Chain A
Amino acid sequence: MDLPAEEEQPLYSQRPEWADVVPLEQYESVAPLAPIFYTDEYRDATNYFRGIVKSDEMSPRVLELTENIIRQNPGHYSAWQYRYKTLMALKSPLDDELQLMDELAIKHLKTYQVWHHRRLLVQQTRNPGPELEFIANSLQVDTKNYHTWSYRQWILAYFNDDALWSHELDFVEKMLESDVRNNSAWHHRFFVVFQSGVRNGDEDRDAVVRRELAFVKERIAIAPNNASAWNYLRGVLDHAKMPYCELQAFVLPYSLPQPPLDTPPEVVDLESPLPSKDAQLPCVAAVEFMADIHEAAGGGDLVKATELWKSLANEHDTIRKRYWEFRIAESLKTKSAGDG
């Protein structure tokens, strides 16, 4: 175990200061399914916890006891719940509690209760400022942790304070700089830009869409085979109700089997950054995108779409063969319905 060499604590049943509490054993009326073979330390602590709950005691020693249980079992729902109630009853300094949580959250990043407890605390302190830094640090440990990102989104949306929002795009950029394939960061960007209201300086929505398109295109150029970036691109276009064909000039080179021949720097089109020479092409997402453009155009272009889908099915993306064949069949159905 990675526990620090702490002083061995005697069991609660051996501590004189707990002698006034009647410990209560866990009760099973019949042999339970999947009985857990508890350690003596856990059995002892939870016996005293059931005793405390029964007598409704809320005192500083309850905080010690519940912390002990949570350290042994961070998923112990009732210990968290009772701890919160006790903190409120004692009017305990919540900053101390948050400090303890900083440690426990990092240790138990995947436990729901750690994050739920934190939300309850911050709703009381109404001081969300330090939280963003804490979250940024947690994300260093686990860059895609679902709870941690959800907590960030909650902090921003719940307190909805201009100062909180002001550095979010910088934050996302930093996260994407270290891993351009981090879908949680892309998702967060979409949430910040499109799903959480309009902030100062972002009133010109067309300009915002242009900015986002430029941002995502630049990152596709860096790493073309990145489903997160392509999904973001589609998300922006769908959100702005822009037809995909407006991106044709940008996408086309990524859908071809060879990188384009060297282009002299003076003719580089900033609107359409090109894939690098060592890019793995064709890029599946770009071929799919081109097929979507052809399908939307309809008519004679459907043949082009079908060709692309066939190349995906048989060559570039065979695990989704059935899907690409389904797309071909669907487009034929639409076509014949249109012809009829």
Chain B
Amino acid sequence: MLPTSLPPLSKGGHATHCKRCLSGLPSSQVDIDPAKLALSFYCLGSLDVSGELEKRTRDWEREQWKEWIWSQQTSGHYGTGFRASSYMTAKHSEHSVHDSPQIIMTYTALLSLAILRDNFSRLDRKGLLKFLRSCQNTDGSFSSEPLGGDSDLRTTFSAFAISTMLDDWSGMDVTSALQFICSCRTYEGGYGQSPFGEALGGTTYCALAALRLATKQLDPLDRQKTIRWLVQNQASNGGFRGRTNKDADACYCFWCGASLHVLDAGDLVDKAEMASFVAFCQFKFGGIAKIPGEHPDPYHTYLSLAAVALLPPDSSEGTPWALCPLDPLLNATYQTSSWARAHIPAPKVDDDDALGDAGI
């Protein structure tokens, strides 16, 4: 039995919140434009992980969403990827360098299409590998765009996730990318956003998940230290903080909780307390906020749901707290991540064709 003090998880309300955001945002949300595909992923991911996607959306809607996401796939001399949205796209004009794809958006586009069970026949795989190569810097990090922009562990993780989904690592120099990840490690045991940065929950997840995707293990002492720092971030109210001595914020339930899961230490989380924190971050009209009493958004809604899916309170089966099992490395339900891993890699060709290809 779940503790009676735990309020129910309002799956329906959260689905409504996400569905509403997918159908339109007020002008005050204009800063979402350069990260629209990420917002779409959080909305679709919320529906997916709570098992509400089929119930809440119609076939034609899902088809239309796929079309729109594909319309963000753009190409240039740097290769092919997905841009955040059409906010720089002018009628009848060619793509310009100011309308170029972005690496984090590309990762979220692929997962969103997998949630919508696309067959990926339109994916320019060779172009995507070229795009990754165009983004990688000499220090192993990845710029967010081929032209430049921030390079930090978020872009590194995206590159690792894309390579995993493609089942092809020829888009990057793995050795220098791994070195870059190590250079972001701090004395506290977490990872900063970039070298010299303070340990932060989100980028620690990026580092640990990327290492695991590349089948690398932390050495036992480092692992111990990282686990220590991560569990220390669970606050007395059950939520997780992103940095030492800061207040808890719902999104870090995922970033820190999933990090522990990646280190095979998810059981060290006090799951009941975490669920209770998430419960109190629920907004009465749907959606989950960063802290109790604030307004919800798809980012905190998705990450809270994902955290609960990964680290559910005991005896949640058969209750509203039961969610679809989550793949902590790609950050999607197992059904979605299996779909991605099955459909995103280049279709297998028979041996004769392979030889023909190699000869070119």
Contact A153 B196 (CB under 8 A): yes
Q: With a CB–CB cut-off of 8 A, which chain B residues contact A144?
A: 243, 246
Contact B231 A323 (CB under 8 A): yes
User: In this assembly, does A214 line the interface, its C-beta being within 8 Å of a C-beta of chain B?
Assistant: no
- Chain B nearest Cβ from A97, distance in angstroms: 18
Closest to B198 in A: A187
- Indicate with 1 or 0, residue by residue over B116-148, a CB within 8 angstroms of chain A CB atoms: 000000000000000000000000000000010
Question: Which of B64, B69, B232, B234 has the largest count of A CB atoms less than 10 A from its CB?
Answer: B232
Question: A25-B91, A33-B65 given as contacts; is B231 within 8 A of A235 (CB)?
Answer: no
User: In this assembly, does B282 line the interface, its C-beta being within 8 Å of a C-beta of chain A?
Assistant: no
Contact B33 A73 (CB under 8 A): yes
Q: With a CB–CB cut-off of 8 A, which chain A residues contact B200?
A: 146
Q: With a CB–CB cut-off of 8 A, which chain B residues contact A39?
A: 27, 30
Q: With a CB–CB cut-off of 8 A, which chain A residues contact B86?
A: 26-28, 32
Q: With a CB–CB cut-off of 8 A, which chain A residues contact B65?
A: 33
In whole angstroms, what is the CA distance A235 to B188 when docked?
A: 7
User: In this assembly, does A98 line the interface, its C-beta being within 8 Å of a C-beta of chain B?
Assistant: no
- Indicate with 1 or 0, residue by residue over A173-198, a CB within 8 angstroms of chain B CB atoms: 00000000111101110110011100
- Neighbour of B27 across the interface among A37, A54, A111, CB < 8 A: A37
Contact A228 B244 (CB under 8 A): yes
In whole angstroms, what is the CA distance A79 to B65 when docked?
A: 27
Closest to B102 in A: A77
Of residues 298 through 340 on chain A, the ones whose CB sits less than 8 Å from some CB of chain B are 319-323, 326
Of residues 26 through 51 on chain B, the ones whose CB sits less than 8 Å from some CB of chain A are 26-27, 29-36, 39-40, 43
- Neighbour of A227 across the interface among B22, B43, B227, B245, CB < 8 A: B245
User: In this assembly, does B89 line the interface, its C-beta being within 8 Å of a C-beta of chain A?
Assistant: yes
Question: A50-B90, A75-B34 given as contacts; is B64 within 8 A of A112 (CB)?
Answer: no
Q: With a CB–CB cut-off of 8 A, which chain A residues contact B4?
A: none
Question: A33-B22, A82-B98, A116-B150 given as contacts; is B93 within 8 A of A24 (CB)?
Answer: yes
User: In this assembly, does B197 line the interface, its C-beta being within 8 Å of a C-beta of chain A?
Assistant: yes
Question: A24-B91, A37-B27 given as contacts; is B197 within 8 A of A320 (CB)?
Answer: no
Contact B199 A187 (CB under 8 A): yes
- Chain A nearest Cβ from B103, distance in angstroms: 13
Q: With a CB–CB cut-off of 8 A, which chain A residues contact B89?
A: 26-28
Q: With a CB–CB cut-off of 8 A, which chain B residues contact A30?
A: 64, 67-68, 71
Number of B interface residues at 8 Å Cβ cutoff, please give it.
Answer: 69
Contact A32 B68 (CB under 8 A): yes
Closest to A69 in B: B30
Interface of A is mostly: helix
- Neighbour of B22 across the interface among A34, A191, A226, CB < 8 A: A34
Q: With a CB–CB cut-off of 8 A, which chain A residues contact B32?
A: 34, 36
- Chain B nearest Cβ from A185, distance in angstroms: 10
- Neighbour of B245 across the interface among A37, A195, A228, CB < 8 A: A228
Contact B99 A78 (CB under 8 A): yes
Identify which of B171-179, B268-276, B337-345 touches chain A.
Answer: B268-276
Closest to A43 in B: B27
Contact B245 A226 (CB under 8 A): yes
Closest to A292 in B: B228
Q: With a CB–CB cut-off of 8 A, which chain B residues contact A32?
A: 36, 68, 85-86
- Chain B nearest Cβ from A117, distance in angstroms: 11
Contact A75 B90 (CB under 8 A): no
Of residues 157 through 213 on chain B, the ones whose CB sits less than 8 Å from some CB of chain A are 186-188, 192-194, 196-200
Question: A30-B67, A182-B245 given as contacts; is B196 within 8 A of A36 (CB)?
Answer: no
- Chain A nearest Cβ from B74, distance in angstroms: 12
User: In this assembly, does A268 line the interface, its C-beta being within 8 Å of a C-beta of chain B?
Assistant: no
- Neighbour of A36 across the interface among B29, B188, B194, B244, CB < 8 A: B29
Q: A28-B86, A116-B150, A191-B196 are in contact. List 11 more A-B contacts (CB 8 A).
A: A27-B92, A33-B68, A34-B22, A72-B30, A146-B193, A150-B194, A187-B198, A227-B244, A319-B234, A319-B270, A320-B232
Enumerate 5 A-B pairs (CB-CB under 8 Å) in ascending A order. A31-B68, A54-B90, A75-B31, A319-B236, A322-B268
Task: Give A residues with C-beta under 8 Å from B.
Answer: 24-39, 42, 46, 50-51, 53-54, 72-78, 81-82, 111-112, 116, 144, 146, 149-150, 153-154, 157, 181-184, 186-188, 190-191, 194-196, 226-228, 231-232, 234-235, 238-239, 319-323, 326
